[in-house]
Amino acid sequence: MKSGVEPLVNDGFAGEPAKRCVGYVQSQREKGKNVVGIYCTYGPLEVVRAAGAVPAVLCAFADKTIAAAEEDLPANLCPLIKSSYGFIKTDTCPFYSLADVVIGETTCDGKKKMFELIAGIKPTHVMDLPQLPDQKEALENWTEMVKKLKGFLETTLKTQISDEAVEAEIQHSNVKNKLLNTILDFAALTPTPLTWQEMYDLTYLGQAASTADMMKVMEDALAKVQKRVADGVFHGQPDSPRVLVTGTPVGGDATKVFKIIEESGGVIVALDLCTGLKPYAGHIEEGAADPYRAISKRYLEIPCACMTPNDRRLSELDRLIEKFKPDAVIDVVLHACHGYSIESTKVKKHIEGKHKLPYLKIETDYSQSDVGQIRTRVAATLEMVHK
């Protein structure tokens, strides 16, 4: 990208994505809104917003609180869980401090047990996520969980959530997701006019911000990217290896992987992550007889490795590869995330067998100790693109 190019994201809040979101959530709190902490993409944002509240993502991606967390948690636990718990234990998580209540989902055993340790600090509601999504009972059970969330929010926040408000938020989500994807789809161009940081900024902010607050941000971003294309301003070179990143949520200190890919000459064109495209793919049925069932159906389609069988992840990779035309796929897995780590075997076979693309699995944490090793392996993978 040429120097002096206007940043794509300008939402009025300064700093890195997390700091920007803190500023946004704080501004909403000052307007009198309740704050609902969430830990996962499966947290039904439409119900939270229908309660007149603002969601705040509590997953943490920093190495600095892990030592404190390991006083209570196993050292060989997922760093995302340790970092999140460490911020709460040291009382240094601004999102948790702002939250009135917390929602957790049973996506993994580590998080589930961590919720038990923090349950006495703030009202914490754990949703039992069905993990065989194609079973008939899964939709029925998850719909019931979403309705129980409604009751929890109404009781603890002393509010009422109408079906009309939920339906309105469904429509708002669809509008936001459609426009956001319109912007991110520009990464399908060769060369791309977007950087990974801009894609990450938009998707990170979109989890917290309402559609109304995101519209100007997204409309400005769309105008800027359209101008870049018209002016011939692109990121990387026409022959830069195009990389699709898939795997576990990546943020904060773990974005070292993204930076190494760029430093090695690659260009990231798609983030198949919960901190990327996953929350915005798909459509929630509008005008359904039961809006909670419509929400449940959409969320159960999210292809997290906690689901089994998780064939939707492979079909989603097919869709993204067809659209963004990557030259290589890099699968980032956090240490001790057993679901994603085991599933990488299927992903590798699918990418190399069906798509004939170079595939690299990177297992990492939030420390900088493996940067040299990652750099060597990424460089070797990208070299394969030119052979």
Q: If DSSP codes are grouped into helix, strand and coil, which group holds residue 211?
A: helix
Residue 16: predicted pLDDT: 79
Q: Which positions ≥6 away from 375 have C-beta within 8 Å?
A: 260, 263, 264
Which DSSP state fits 56?
E
pLDDT in tens, 198-235: 999 999 999 999 999 999 999 999 999 999 999 999 99
3-state secondary structure of 124: strand
> pLDDT digit string (tens) for 107-150?
999 999 999 999 999 999 999 999 999 999 999 999 999 999 99
H-helix or E-strand containing 359? strand 359-364
* Maximum C-alpha span of the chain: 63
Class of 17-161 per CATH?
A: alpha beta
Residues of the chain with CATH 3.40.50.11900: 165-385
User: Taking the mean position of all CA atoms in its chain, how far away is CA 100?
Assistant: 22
In percent, the amount of the chain with pLDDT more than 90 equals 94
Question: pTM to 2 decimals?
Answer: 0.97
List, as one string, the DSSP characters of 66-110: HHHHTTTS-TTS-HHHHHHHHHHHTT--HHHHH-SEEEEE-SSHH
The pLDDT value given to residue 8: 84
Q: Give pLDDT, residue 379.
A: 97
**344 contact partners, CB below 8 Å, separation of at least 6:** 247, 331, 333, 361
pLDDT string in tens for the chain (387-residue length): 655 577 888 766 656 788 889 999 999 999 999 999 999 999 999 999 999 999 999 999 999 999 999 999 999 999 999 999 999 999 999 999 999 999 999 999 999 999 999 999 999 999 999 999 999 999 999 999 999 999 999 999 999 999 999 999 999 999 999 999 999 999 999 999 999 999 999 999 999 999 999 999 999 999 999 999 999 999 999 999 999 999 999 999 999 999 999 999 999 999 999 999 999 999 999 999 999 999 999 999 999 999 999 999 999 999 999 999 999 999 999 999 999 999 999 999 999 999 999 999 999 999 999 999 999 999 999 999 975
- Torsion angle (degrees, nearest 10) of CA 203, 209, 212, 215: -30
Using alpha carbons, select from 92, 21, 97 the residue that is nearest to residue 62: 92
Out of 3.40.50.11900, 3.30.720.120, 3.30.70.940, 1.10.490.10, select the CATH number for domain 165-385.
Answer: 3.40.50.11900
CATH 3.40.50.11890 in the chain, residues?
17-161
Distance from C-alpha of 38 to C-alpha of 26, rounded to nearest angstrom: 16
